[in-house]
Chain A
Amino acid sequence: MTDRNIPVTEDELHAYVDNELPAERRSDVEAWLASHPDDAARVQSWRTMAEALHARYDSVIDEAVPKRLDIERLVRQPRKWVYGAIAATLAAFIVGGGAGWFARGAAAGPSPFQNLTVNAIEAHRLYVVEVRHPVEVPGSERNHLQQWLTKRCGWAVRAPELAGAGLKLVGGRLLPGSAGPASFMMYESASGERFTIYTAKSDAEATQMRFAVEGNESSLFWADDGVVYVVVSTGADRGRLTQIAQSVYDQMEKKG
């Protein structure tokens, strides 16, 4: 038995319309609606809204599915990525957040550390949208990737194992940094969430881990043994980012 005198909350009204309400509470809500015309009108407006959505978009279901979405074809020949490198590069360099960031920090003058973080975030933005060419060396060639980046960068570049956090190595690439080369590695979860790790030469020997947000991107960065590490994500919460950064840090420590 539930108590009919418990007032119905807004959450319950939504849950009622969406059939998420426990069965034993439905009749209470119905009784409530009978005596609260404002709430009844709101519930009705949500139903009308749902009808309008279906009226507008259900016709898509009846359309013939275009040939290019045929699974057999897709297996054989993936489509070229339309939001590709050229558009992303233009966007990043012509109207990019980097320019804005520098303009904003101009009075104080950005520190080398801030420069590195901006480089890392720009690289992240540029390459996470890539489907076909996000990296130069794929994650399947982990050893080669590590050796190559180590040789070109001049410090030990390791691709940490992040399977514990549900991430798989997509691969990596070499990037030009503000003072010499930088390494860039990308990881991906089963649902397509991407994290990147950027390393470059640092003036600081070692620092604590710090957190920075720029637009939708958030990053954790620290310096260790004259190398700065920046872990970047889009939209991931700080807890998850910290968990991943910690795992990267621990593995860098262990390598000795």
Chain B
Amino acid sequence: MIPALRRYARALARDADIADDLVQDTLVRALRSERLFLGGDVRSWLYTILTNLNKNRRRSLARRPQFMPLLDNNPDASGTEAEGRDIARALATLVEEQRSVLLLVMLEGLSYREVADIQGVPIGTVMSRLARARAHVKASLEGERTALRRVK
């Protein structure tokens, strides 16, 4: 479970250290409030806590100036490095709820029902967020490629 949480957090937060902080805080919170756990799926519950913590974190960051890295130097970038960077950059342009839906469905393989419970919204909202996220990422990836081609 922890490796999958780390993967989700990494894609959600981009920065590896912040991602692991999120996972750690998720686990601490889950451990602290295990008596509050009312049954159901532990996996969904952990994804829910992590999603909420990231929302809180982004809210507290929103008031500070944003420093965007000039280059993504992620040491864990795999063989398809260029493609990986593209998708990471496209993800970063999504609004929070859309990024979360897209990752939970496409990367973590959760069902629409589970994502609806995690975000506390109806399934229809999950589907429209997913559709918008996919359209946005697609446009972002294609836009990037045409821009690159034009520069060459």
**Residues of A that sit less than 8 Å from B by CB:** 10-11, 14-15, 18, 20, 42, 45-46, 49-50, 52-63, 65-66, 68-69, 71, 74-75, 78-79, 81-83, 87-88, 91-92, 95-97, 125, 128-129, 131, 166, 168, 188-193, 216, 234-235
Interface of A is mostly: helix
- Report yes or no: B57 in contact with A83, Cβ–Cβ below 8 A: yes
Interface of B is mostly: helix
* Chain A residues with CB under 8 A of B33: 188, 190
> Are A53 and B63 also in contact (CB < 8 A) when A68-B20, A74-B28, A78-B28 are?
no
* From A49, A65, A193, residue with most partner B Cβ within 10 Å: A49
- Report yes or no: A18 in contact with B63, Cβ–Cβ below 8 A: no
- Report yes or no: A65 in contact with B2, Cβ–Cβ below 8 A: yes
- Within 8 Å by CB of A56, from B3, B57, B83, B130, lies B83
CA distance A192 to B79 in the complex (A): 37
B 9-58 contacts with A by CB, 8 A? 10-11, 20-21, 23-25, 27-29, 31-33, 36-38, 45, 48-49, 52-53, 55-57
13 A-B pairs (CB sep. < 8 Å): A11-B131, A14-B127, A15-B112, A53-B103, A55-B79, A55-B83, A56-B87, A57-B10, A58-B78, A65-B6, A71-B31, A81-B25, A95-B64
- Report yes or no: B78 in contact with A18, Cβ–Cβ below 8 A: no
* From A14, A42, A53, A235, residue with most partner B Cβ within 10 Å: A53
**What is the total of A-B residue contacts with beta carbons within 8 Å?**
153
Q: Would you give the shortest CB distance from B94 to chain A, in whole angstroms?
A: 12
CA distance A78 to B31 in the complex (A): 10
CA distance A71 to B28 in the complex (A): 9
* B92 interface hit (Cβ, 8 Å): no
Q: Would you give the shortest CB distance from A233 to chain B, in whole angstroms?
A: 11
CA distance A81 to B4 in the complex (A): 22
Contact with A along B51-85 (1 / 0, CB 8 A): 01101110111011000000000001111100110
- Within 8 Å by CB of B76, from A14, A42, A59, A87, lies A59
- Within 8 Å by CB of B60, from A60, A71, A87, A188, lies A87
How many B residues, CB 8 Å from partner? 58
Q: Apart from A65-B2, A91-B61, A191-B52, list 11 A-B contacts with CB within 8 A.
A: A15-B127, A52-B83, A60-B7, A74-B31, A87-B60, A125-B60, A128-B56, A131-B25, A166-B38, A192-B49, A234-B55
For A11, the closest partner residue in chain B by CB is B127
> Are A129 and B111 also in contact (CB < 8 A) when A49-B106, A56-B78, A69-B2 are?
no
**Residues of B that sit less than 8 Å from A by CB:** 2-4, 6-7, 10-11, 20-21, 23-25, 27-29, 31-33, 36-38, 45, 48-49, 52-53, 55-57, 59-61, 63-64, 76-80, 83-84, 86-88, 103, 105-107, 111-112, 120, 127, 130-131, 134, 137-138, 141
* From B63, B84, B137, residue with most partner A Cβ within 10 Å: B63
5 closest residue pairs by CB, A with B:
A56-B84, A91-B63, A192-B52, A60-B7, A190-B36
- Within 8 Å by CB of B24, from A11, A49, A74, A168, lies A74
For B23, the closest partner residue in chain A by CB is A69
* Chain A residues with CB under 8 A of B4: 61
CA distance A188 to B33 in the complex (A): 10
For B8, the closest partner residue in chain A by CB is A57
> Are A192 and B29 also in contact (CB < 8 A) when A61-B7, A68-B20 are?
yes
* Chain B residues with CB under 8 A of A57: 7, 10-11, 107
